[in-house]
Structure 1
Amino acid sequence: MAAKSFAFAIFALILVAGSEAATVYATAKAAGLTTLVAAIDAAGMKGAFNHNLRGTVFAPTNEAFAELIAALNTTPEDLLGNKALLRKVLKYHVVFGKPIKSSDIPKGKVTTVYTWDGLPLGAKAWGKDPKNTGVNVFYGKDLENKAKVVAPDVRANTAIVHVINKVLVPVL
């Protein structure tokens, strides 16, 4: 069932991405990234994920949020009720400036980019065969944690969205 819903989410991303006017928020909503959308709403940040957002957004899957909630031994309601924490976590998923496509990320070498709050993230492409390549995102104090891009290069107006399999948690 999870594979079927993931395939639908990818299809929805492609459809929404075809609309130049789609915002990051609308793209996430259409893709079924319901926990991300709920987090954006709960943090009062819907306006930040609008047409003016120029940059790159790493969008966690619903499963990534469920994994984080379990690791924190909390509930979705408690997580969504912590507006200050949500704002920090969401800002850690946004890199302003020129949108970064997966093809812009060099293979085999970690490239450092800086998030909304100026915290570092690392990105590295991998794979030799063009049909079997990917991108990992490194985060944490020493960039020791890794997330995998599961759906790259989704255009959302003036931004690029990369769907990832982990919630990036900044050092708090």
Structure 2
Amino acid sequence: MSARIRPALDSLLHGLISLGLGALLAAFILVGASQQGGQGNSQLAADSLRMLWSPAIFAGVGVLLIANGLLRGLWLLLSRPRRVTIRPVLVRSSSGRPAAIAPPPPDAYRRACAELGLEPGSDWALVRSAWRRNLPQWHPDQGGAVDVWQRKLAAYTLLEAWQHFEAPP
């Protein structure tokens, strides 16, 4: 299931549950009031009917949640995700004709390894041990600089994602 549609479906489900609970609670109260009225307890029957505000709240919240889910779903149908296209950059010669494609940006994997002081292609156990060993000196709560911490954390996160990407199924 798409992560974009999940909140809309959750809202619809919770709304239906709340509406159902409100209807069930109202039915129990009405049956009880009817029984009390049939037995001659008119005061108890009237008091029971005054308690119908509770299921009304459940039903009202259910209606609001259902409306929220429907509006979210409608919004998802009407809004499309934007597609980003990456086009190569052409380097032009002095004559104005394309000469060559510009070189790709620096390798993020190699930069992440260098940031953590590791060789590219290092085993994941070595990456984790280096991270854990240096974590106390890098973390801001332990006296490390925030900008250094952000760089180290970004590098480790990239290497972790790379490890999950490269790991065999």
TM-score bin, normalised by smaller chain:
under 0.3
Q: Looking at both structures, which has the greater relative contact order when contacts are Cα pairs under 8 Å and sequence separation is at least 6?
A: 1
Higher helix fraction: Structure 1 or Structure 2?
Answer: 2
TM-score (norm 2): 0.20
Higher strand fraction: Structure 1 or Structure 2?
Answer: 1
